Structure 1
Amino acid sequence: MEPEGLREAFAEAALDVTPSVVPIAAIERAGRRRRRRRTAAVLGAACGVLLLPLAVVALRTDLSLGQGESERVTPPAASAGPTPSPSLSMAYAGKVRIVTPGERVEVSPGIEIWLTEDGKHWSEPDQPTLFRSVSDGNLDLSAPGVSVQESAHDGVSFLSGIFHGPGEPARVEVETVTGDLDGTALTLAGEPGWGVWYAEVKVPESQTPPSDSPSGVTERVTVYDSAGGVIASQESAT
C-alpha cells in the first residue's frame, strides 16, 4: 500500500478511537505529595545542621558547669588540733583567771602563785615558799577586804594579796605611788568568796618608799564585778 493510503487508513482508525480522560486531580495530588516530601527532607537536613552546633554548645555548657561546681566544692574543714597552752607569764595581766587548786601560775619571771582551798601560796627568787591562809582566822571573810604583800626585784615592785567579798571579780584596779594600773585576779571555781590579785610596777628611785616606811608602793586596791560594783576596796592595806 502506498504511504498516502496508509496515512488515510490510520486517520480513519484514529477517528474511531475515544481517548480516556486524563486524571489531572490525581496527578496534582501526587505532585503535592512529592513537593511536601522534598520540603520536609530539606527542612530536616537544615534542622540537623542547626541542631548540631546547639548540641555542641549545650555539651560545652554542661562541661563548664560541671567544672564550676567542682571548683566550688568546699574542702573539708581542717581538724581542730589541741589549743596551745598560753604562756603563764604576764599574758594574763589585767585579766581574771580561774585556776584549779595547786595550779602554778608564773606571774612574773621567777615568781609563781598557786591557790589551794586554804589560801594563797607563792614563791619568789631565793626565797622559801610563802603562804597566807584564808582559814586560820587572820582574815575576816565575813566582810569585804583586801590584803597586800610587796617585794622588789631588779627595780620592779611585785604587788599581790588576797581579796574577799561577795560577787565574781571582773577587774582589779591598783593605785600606786606612780599611778593607777590594772591588776590580775586569780580565783578558784565555784565562788569561794575570795581570790588573789597581783600587779607589777617599776618605781623610780625617787618614789621608792624607805625600807622602814609603814606605807609601801600600793595606795589602794579595788576589785570590781562585771557590773562595775565594788566587791572589795582597801586603802594602804597591809
Structure 2
Amino acid sequence: MKRTLKFLACAAVVAAVAGTATAAYAVPAKAPHATVAQAGTAQTQAASAAKVRASTPLRPTAKKTAPTPRVVASGEHVTAAPGFELWLTAEGKYWTTPSMPDEPQFRSVVDGNIDRNTPGVSMQAEGDSSHVYLSGLYYGGKGTASSVEVETADGTVHGKLIELPGKPGWGAWYAVADVKPGSGSWDYVSRVTVHDTKGKIYAQLKLR
C-alpha cells in the first residue's frame, strides 16, 4: 500500500524570573524592663511550641496508581479515530480502518498462531495521507499490563490497552500516529513495548 505520511510538531518553552524585594528591621537586643520570670516564660512557651510541631504527624504523599487496561464487554466497540474501531471477543481482536470501515478484520487468539503462555506482541498497521492506524495483540507477560509505547520513524507514540473481563491473559493495544511526509514505509514502526504497572516490560515486539 502506498502511503504519504505527514506530521507536524512544535514545542514552546517560556520561562519567567521574578525578583523578590527584601527588607531588614532592627530589633533591640534586650527589652529594658524584661524580668527573669518573663524570660523563663518565653523560653517555656518556645519549648512547648517546638514539642507540638515535632509531635504533629506528617501527611503522607498521595501515591499514584499505575493505569491498567480498559475492561470492555465482549463485542463492545472502542473508537480510536473516525473509522478506526476495535472490539474483542473470546476468539480474538476485530477492527476496522478508515479505508475499510465496513469490512472488519480479525486476529485470532485461539487458532494456535500465538502462544499465550509466552510474552508476545503483534502489530497491524494501515496508513493514509496523514496518519498510521496501529493495533495488535499483547499476551503472556507477568504482572498486569499498564501502558504501550510505539517507536516510529517520527518518534514515540503512546497508545491504549483494552481487555475482556476476568484477566484473560491477553488484550489489544491501539494507537494513531501523525507522521511526516516521506516517512511512510513498511519499517515505519521499529518497536512496540507493553509495560506492566511496575514499569517493567510486560511484552515487546522488535521489528528492526
TM class, shorter-length = 0.5 to 0.7
Q: Does 1:161 align with 2:132?
A: no
**Which blocks of at least 5 consecutive residues in structure 2 are unaligned?**
1-66
* Shift in Å, 1:137: 0.6
User: Aligned equivalents of 1:125 and 1:179: distance in 2?
Assistant: 23
Pairing 1:1-238 to 2, within 5 Å after superposition: 96-127=69-100, 128-166=103-141, 167-209=143-185, 215-236=186-207
User: Aligned equivalents of 1:206 and 1:163: distance in 2?
Assistant: 29
User: Aligned equivalents of 2:86 and 2:195: distance in 1?
Assistant: 21
* Shift in Å, 1:158: 0.6
Q: 1:114 is aligned with what amino acid? A: W
* Aligned partner of residue 145 in structure 2, secondary structure: coil
Structure having greater relative contact order (Cα 8 Å, sep ≥ 6) = 2
User: Which of the pair is proportionally richer in helix?
Assistant: 1
User: Aligned equivalents of 1:123 and 1:181: distance in 2?
Assistant: 20
Q: Structure 1 residues 95 and 207 mapped into 2: Cα distance closer, same or farther (>3 Å)?
A: farther
User: Aligned equivalents of 2:177 and 2:98: distance in 1?
Assistant: 17
4+ residue segments displaced more than 6 Å: none
* Aligned partner of residue 86 in structure 2, secondary structure: strand
* Aligned partner of residue 113 in structure 2, secondary structure: coil
Q: Is residue 95–residue 183 contact of structure 1 (8 Å, CA) maintained in 2?
A: no
**Which blocks of at least 5 consecutive residues in structure 1 are unaligned?**
1-93, 210-214
User: Aligned equivalents of 1:193 and 1:95: distance in 2?
Assistant: 13
Question: RMSD in angstroms over aligned alpha carbons?
Answer: 1.7
Q: Structure 1 residues 126 and 202 mapped into 2: Cα distance closer, same or farther (>3 Å)?
A: closer
What TM-score, normalized to structure 2?
0.63
Residue-pair matches, total: 139
* Shift in Å, 1:224: 0.9
* Aligned partner of residue 205 in structure 1, secondary structure: coil
Q: 1:150 is aligned with what amino acid? A: A
In structure 1, the partner of 2:6 is: none
* Shift in Å, 1:126: 4.4
- The superposition leaves residues 53-98 of structure 1 with CA deviations (integer Å, 9 ceiling, x where unpaired) of xxxxxxxxxxxxxxxxxxxxxxxxxxxxxxxxxxxxxxxxx97311
Structure possessing the higher radius of gyration over alpha carbons: 1
* Shift in Å, 1:196: 0.5
